[in-house]
Structure 1
Amino acid sequence: MNFKLTDLNSFEDNIRREWALTNGLGSYAGSSVIGAHNRTHQGYLIASLRSPVMRYLFFSKTNEKVTIGNNVYDFTTAQYKGRQRICGQTYLKEFNYDGTVCYTYEIPGMTIKKHISLVYGLNRCAIGYEIINNTDSATFTVTPLLNYREHSGSSTIDDLKFTIFREDTGFSLIPDANPNIRTYISVSDGILKDRESLYEADMELQTEVDNEVAGLDCHFTPFDIEIAVPANSSKRISLICDVIPASAGIVSRITPDTAFDIIDAQLKRVSKIIANSGLKDDFGQALAVAADQFITQRESTGYSTVLAGLPWFTDWGRDTMIAFTGLTLCTGRFNEAHDILLTFAKYCHNGLIPNMFPDNGQKPLYNTADASLWYFYAVYKYLMYTGNSDDYDFIYKEIYPSLKEIISAYKNGTDFSIYMDEDYLIHAGSGLDQVTWMDVRVGDWVATPRHGKPVEINALWYNAICIMDFLSAKFGENDTEYKVLSEKVRSSFIAKFWNPNAGCLYDVVDETPDDSIRPNQIYAVSLPFTMLDHDMEKSIVNVVKNKLYVGCGLRSLDPEHKDYHPIYIGSLSKRDHAYHQGTAWGFLLGGFITAYVKVNGSDKKAADEALKLLEPVKDHLYHNCIGSICEIFDGDSPHNGRGCYAQAWSVGEVLRCYFEDILPFKTRA
C-alpha cells in the first residue's frame, strides 16, 4: 500500500509528517517525509538491546549530495539551532510508504531514489540507492550520521567518543560508553573520505522545542562515502548498518543488490500480513500493516507482546488487552494472540495482571484496576474468533484458573483499594494511586483521581462476570454463582450510575457522584455484555457524540467543563494538565463506533453512518505518522495529532470496530 504526497517543498507543512518502521524486537526507525528529524526519538536505527527495551540511537540518518562539474545539489534537509534550515527537500519529488520508505529526488538530468528498510528480527537497517543518470559524470556523496545514546535523550559533542575501525566494506565504531557494542556501516561501492568536521552539531528538533526544551542534538560524522557515477548510466548502491556485539566477526561483504534483497523480503512480508488478514480495501489493509508495528518479542518472557505506542512506550497490560482484538484477531495472528494471553496468565498476581512487565530482575508493576477486567474481554474475543475445541482446552487449562483468581480477588479485595463493596460494585483507588486509564500523577498532584467506583471499571466488572458464567457452563461447572452476581451488579449499576438530568452515566460514584461528562461511559454500551435498556444506551451515545466526538477520537472531558484543556502542547506540566482533561483519544473511537452501530439498529444504514464517522481517520493516515494513528489529539479544532505518533490501541480499536461493526454490512445488498 502506497502513500504518495504531492507537495513536499514546504518544510513547515511537512516536518510533522512522520514515518516509522519496526523490526519485531522493539527497535524502530523514523524521520519526517522530507527527511528532517523533528524529535529525539528519530533515526534510521534505534536498536533495542534487550527486546523490547534498552533502546538506543545508533544510526541517525544519511545526508546526500550530487556534484556534477561545478554544480552541487545538496539533499540535506534539517533544522539547526535558532530554526536555521537547510532545505534539500526542494529536490524531493515523491515520498512513498509501503512498509518500507522511499524518497525520490530529481535534479537536472538525474533521478535518485533512496529506499529504507529494517530487517525483521535483526538490528539491521538497509538503504538502497537507485541512480539514473542521463547527464555528465557525477560524484554521489553519502554522509552517515552516527550516535550512541538512549532514545529519549540527546547528545553533545563531548558525549560522542568512539573507537573507529576502517573495514574492507566500510567502517565500524565502538562507543566509549559501551565497549560491548559495535555499529558497522558497510557499503557496496565508493571510497571513504575523512571529514574535516567529525560532528554534526546543534541539530534542532522542532517537536522538542514545542515541548519547551532546547531540542538540540549532535551526531558523529567521521567519513563521507564518495561514489563515482559515470555519464549516462544507471547504478544501484547498498548501504547497511548493523548493530552487533563488539566481539562479533566481520559482517559479510555486500553487493549492490543486498539492500534491495532486504527491501524485497520486507515487501513480501507486508504482502503476507495483508493476505493473512483477509482485508480487501485500502483502509483495512493500511490498518493491518500498522498493527504489525506493535507486535514484538519480549526477551524476559520469551513470548510475543504489544508495544503500547511508538516511539517511546513499551508494553502495558491495559493497552495490550484493549488493542488485542484488532491487532491480533482481526488480522488472523492467532499464534501471537495465544502467546499474549499465556504471558499475562503467568504473571497474574493477587488477581491483577501486570500494568508493566519486569526487566533486569525487576518485579512487574500491577497498579491498574481495569487491565485484569479487560483480560476477560480479550479471552472472550479470542474464543469468538477461534472457537475450536483446542482453543477452549487451552483457555481451560492455562487461562481459566487466572480468571477465577481475578474474580475472587476483586470480590474479596486486593491491592490498590480494589474490592467489591456491599452494593456489588467495584471500588478502586485511593490516596495517590492512579488505577484507571486516566492515570496522570505528578508528585503529589493527581490530575484525575477517579477514586471510588469508576463507570468503566464496573461495566467491565459486569462483563467479566457474564463471561465467567459463559465459561463455567462451557466447562461443565453449571455454577449459578456468576449469574446471580451479575443480576445484583446490574441492579446496583443502574440505580447508582444513571444520571437522569444529563441522560447519561455518572463518571464515578462515591459519596457524591461525579457528573462530569467523560467518554468512559461508552463501555457500558459497547462491551459484549451490558446492563442498560435501549433508550438509556441510545441517550448515552447521543450525549457522547454531541459532547466528545471530534473525528479522530473522543474528548476526555466535556468542553463546557471548567477544567477543560483544549490543547496538548508545551512543557510536561502543561501537557499533564491536558492529558485527560480535554485531550481526545483515538482508542475511544472503537467503543464509540460499536455502541453507535448497536443503538442505531446494527444494520447497513447504521454501518454506513459509522463509516462516515471514521472518515477523519482515513485522512489522518496521511498526516502525523504516515499509515498509522496517533495516541491523542487536541480537544479543540483543528484537532492536531499529539503524543505517540503511532499508538497500538488507537490502531487496534479502529481496526476492530471497522472489522466487526462496518465490514460485515458493506458486503450486504
Structure 2
Amino acid sequence: MAYLNLNKSQLVNLEYSLYREMLRTNRAGSYSSTTVTGCNTRKYHGMLVCPIEHFDGGHFVLLSSLDISLVQHQQIFNLGIHKFQGNHYEPKGHKYLTEIDMDTTPKRVYRVGGMVLSTELLMSETQEQVLLRVTLEEAHSDTQIRFKPFLAFRNVHDLTRQNMMANTRCEALPNGVKIKMYQGFPYLHMQINKENEFVHVPDWYRNIEYIKEQHRGYPYKEDLFVPGYFEMAIKKGESIIFSASTTEAKPAGLKAKFTREHNKRIPRDTLLHNLLNSAQQFIQKHGKSYRLTAGFHWYNERLRDTLVALPGLMTYQEDKEPYLNILDQAVKDIRHIYLAESEAGLRPCIKNIDVPLWLFYTLQEVKTMFPSMNICARYGDAMEEIIEYILRLKNGPISIDDSGLLWTKMDGIPMTWMDAIVDGQPVTQRPGYVVEINALWYNALVFYKEHCEQQQKDSLKLSALIEKIKTAFVEKFWNEQGSYLFDYVDGDYKDASIRPNQILAVALPNSPLDIEQRKRIIDVIKKELLTPRGLRTLSPSSPFYQGLVEGPQNQRDKALHQGSVYPWLAAFFAEGYLSIYKENGVTLIKRMLDGFEQEMGNHCLSTISEYFNGNPPHQGKGAVSMAWNVAAVIRIIKIIDKYS
C-alpha cells in the first residue's frame, strides 16, 4: 500500500473528501489543483492554471475541470462531480471512486460495474501544460471514453458568468481542438495521443458553486463553458494521454512525454519525500533566474517568507543551485527595497525592518551547508550595507536608540510579521521595542562580527555595540515575574502576552540570553503555546485568545494572530529546545514531528497549510501549502538527525 492512500469509505463521504485537496505545480509557474474527488471547491481550483504575461503575469484558470465518462452498452457513466444550488451534486462520480494513492503522481481508481479506470495527473516541468493519463484496467465489453472540458478563462481571484463577449468557436488541431475565449489570452490547446471525434455541443453550465468561497463570505457561483466532448474507443489495458496546454503539442509524443515527466518525480513513500516534493513546488523559473512562491493558491513572492524558508527547502535537495539563485536575488531585492536612498536620503517609511535581518539567519544556515563557501566574499558587502543602514536610522518610524536597540512605530501600520488589519486598524500593532526584531538584530551583528568584520576591514567596530545591546535586551525584555520575555515594550507599557516571537531569542545561533533564561523561556512556551502543528500565536490563558479561525474575512483576520498555530515557528522551538535538553529532548520533538506526519493526509495532501486552529484538533486553514511551513518540518527532521 502507498504511504498516503484514501479508500472508498473516505472518498464517498463528501464531508471528509471535499476538505482534502491536491496540488501540483511546475517551474513555469502553472499549477493544477482540486479536491481528492475532483470537485472544485475554490475559485482558485483548476486543472490548468497559468501565469499570463499579457495580464502582468497574474494567474488565470483556463481549464477548470475535465469530466470523464465511460460508455458501455449505450449507458453513460460520468465520473465527474460539480456542486450546484441546494447542496446538489451532479454528476456524482465520486461514488465510483474506490481509492486514491499519492505514491508518485495522484492516482484515482474508479470502478463502474465490470470496468476499472485509473487516472494519473502531472504537470510538464517547463511548460504551461497538464497531462492526464487514463488507463482502462478492466473491461469485459466494448468501451468508449469521453472527455468533457469545462472552461473558465478568468483570473483566479474572479468568477465568470455567461456573456456575449466570449468567443466559443473551436479550431481543429491534430487529435484535438484549440480555443481562445477572450482577447489577450493564449489559446488553450486540448489534444489526445489517439485519434478521436470531437463532438461540438457548446453549452454554458450555470451556477456551479464553490463551497470554500461561500464559507469565506465571498461570491461563490460561476458559469463555465463546455465546447463539446472528445470521444474514442478504449481497450482493456490501454492508456490514453490527454493534454491541455498553451502551446500546440505533438500527439504522437504525449505518451513518451508523460513517462519522462513521471520518472522525474520523487516517490512519496516517506514523510521526508512528501516534503521534498512539496518543497520543489514553490520554485519558479523566470528566464535564467528563479523565484520562490510563498504559498498556494493566492500568494506570490514574499521576501520574509523566502529568507525564512530557504534553509529548510534546500536541505536534502541534491540540486541546490536554484535555491542559491533565489538567495542572490533576495539580496538584490533587499538592496533595492530597503537600502536604496531617495533624493531626500534614507527612505523614511520602510516597514518590516526584520526582513533584511533575516538575511543573516539565512546565511548562517547556508554556511553550515557549504562550509567551504566564503560567505563574506559573496555577501559581505550586502551585510555591511544593511548594518550601516540601520545604524543611520534616527528619529523616524524605525530608529536605533543609544543602547543599540531598534524601535519601530507607525500609527495604523503593523510593523512585524503579525500584520493583520481589520477596518483600517492593526489587530496586533506591537509598537516600540519588538522582541524578535531585536533578537534578529543582535544575531546579525554577532554573526557579521565573527565571520566578516576583519575581511570588511573592521570598519564598523561592533564589539562595544554588541555588548551594549546584550545588556539592554535583557533589561528591556526580561519578565522576571513570568520567567519569559515581554513581546514588546512601548514607553512604560510592557506587553506580557505570552507569544511565540520570543522563541527567536532562544533559537537563533547568537542569543543575548544566558542558558538559564533560555531554559525558562522554552519551558513557558512548551506549556502555553506548543501544539502538534507548531506554536500558537497567543496563549489560551490570554483573555484575547481565539482558538478558531472561521467566518468572513474580517472575523478571520481578527483571530489570525490571536491563538492560531503557525508551523514555521516549530523549527525554532525544536532548535531552541534541543540546544538546551540535547538528546534528552529528542522524544518530545519526534512527537511533534508525528503531528506533522498526520497532516500529510489532511487539508492538502502531502504538504503543510498556512496556519491551524489553536484549539484541537488543530484544523488546517488559509493557504493550502506554505513554503516556510514545509521548510520548517524539513528542518525539524534535520535537527532530530543532528541530535540523534
| Shorter-chain TM-score range | over 0.9
Match of 1:342 among 313, 318, 328: 328
Match of 1:563 among 544, 559, 570: 544
Match of 1:25 among 16, 23, 28: 28
SS class of match (2:187): strand
Match of 2:503 among 501, 505, 522: 522
Contact 1:345/1:398 (8 A) holds in 2: no
* Residue identity matched to 1:435: M
Q: Which residue of 2 aligns with 1:384?
A: 368
Residue 9 (structure 2) pairs with residue 5 (structure 1): no
Match of 2:212 among 202, 207, 214: 207
Contact 2:612/2:620 (8 A) holds in 1: yes
SS class of match (1:198): strand
- Could you tell me how far apart the structure 1 residues matched to 2:111 and 2:150 are? 23
Contact 1:124/1:243 (8 A) holds in 2: yes
Q: How does 1:46-85 map onto structure 2 within 5 Å?
A: 46-50=49-53, 53-85=57-89
Tell me how far 1:352 sits from its aligned partner: 2.5
The superposition leaves residues 553-599 of structure 1 with CA deviations (integer Å, 9 ceiling, x where unpaired) of 21111122222222112111111111111211111111111112112
Residue 272 (structure 2) pairs with residue 284 (structure 1): yes
- Could you tell me how far apart the structure 1 residues matched to 2:93 and 2:270 are? 31
Q: Which residue of 2 aligns with 1:370?
A: 354
- Could you tell me how far apart the structure 2 residues matched to 1:99 and 1:153 are? 32
1:498 and 1:55, CA in 2 relative to 1: closer, same or farther beyond 3 A?
same
- Could you tell me how far apart the structure 2 residues matched to 1:384 and 1:477 are? 24
SS class of match (1:610): helix
SS class of match (1:192): strand
Residue 469 (structure 2) pairs with residue 489 (structure 1): yes
1:350 and 1:225, CA in 2 relative to 1: closer, same or farther beyond 3 A?
closer
Aligned length: 629
Contact 1:162/1:176 (8 A) holds in 2: no
Residue 240 (structure 2) pairs with residue 237 (structure 1): yes
* Residue identity matched to 2:363: V
1:580 and 1:426, CA in 2 relative to 1: closer, same or farther beyond 3 A?
same
Residue 599 (structure 2) pairs with residue 620 (structure 1): yes
Q: Which residue of 2 aligns with 1:457?
A: 437
The superposition leaves residues 389-442 of structure 1 with CA deviations (integer Å, 9 ceiling, x where unpaired) of xx31xx434421111111111122179722211221111231122221001124
Q: Which residue of 1 aligns with 2:343?
A: none
* Residue identity matched to 1:341: L
Gaps of 5+ in 1: 245-250, 275-280, 355-362
Contact 1:350/1:405 (8 A) holds in 2: no
Tell me how far 1:485 sits from its aligned partner: 1.6
Residue 176 (structure 2) pairs with residue 170 (structure 1): yes
Q: Which residue of 2 aligns with 1:331?
A: 317
Tell me how far 1:350 sits from its aligned partner: 7.5
Query: TM (normalized to structure 1)?
Result: 0.89
SS class of match (1:85): strand
Q: Which residue of 2 aligns with 1:184?
A: 189
Tell me how far 1:234 sits from its aligned partner: 2.7
Q: Which residue of 2 aligns with 1:649?
A: 628
1:98 and 1:416, CA in 2 relative to 1: closer, same or farther beyond 3 A?
farther
1:444 and 1:415, CA in 2 relative to 1: closer, same or farther beyond 3 A?
farther
SS class of match (1:171): strand
The superposition leaves residues 597-619 of structure 1 with CA deviations (integer Å, 9 ceiling, x where unpaired) of 1121x22x322321112211100
Residue 505 (structure 2) pairs with residue 543 (structure 1): no
1:148 and 1:306, CA in 2 relative to 1: closer, same or farther beyond 3 A?
same
SS class of match (1:143): strand
Residue 262 (structure 2) pairs with residue 267 (structure 1): yes
Q: Which residue of 2 aligns with 1:41?
A: 44
Q: Which residue of 2 aligns with 1:321?
A: 307
Tell me how far 1:90 sits from its aligned partner: 1.2
- Could you tell me how far apart the structure 2 residues matched to 1:439 and 1:61 are? 35
Alignment identity in percent?
24
* Residue identity matched to 2:176: G
- Greater mean alpha carbon deviation, residues 333-342 or residues 612-621: 333-342
Tell me how far 1:17 sits from its aligned partner: 0.5
Query: TM (normalized to structure 2)?
Result: 0.93
Tell me how far 1:173 sits from its aligned partner: 0.7
Q: Which residue of 2 aligns with 1:448?
A: 428
Contact 1:587/1:650 (8 A) holds in 2: yes
Q: Which residue of 1 aligns with 2:282?
A: 294
SS class of match (2:546): coil
Match of 2:573 among 588, 592, 600: 592
- Could you tell me how far apart the structure 2 residues matched to 1:422 and 1:653 are? 36
Q: How much is the aligned-residue C-alpha RMSD, in angstroms?
A: 2.3
Contact 1:65/1:72 (8 A) holds in 2: yes
Contact 2:483/2:521 (8 A) holds in 1: yes
Tell me how far 1:156 sits from its aligned partner: 0.9
Contact 1:318/1:374 (8 A) holds in 2: yes
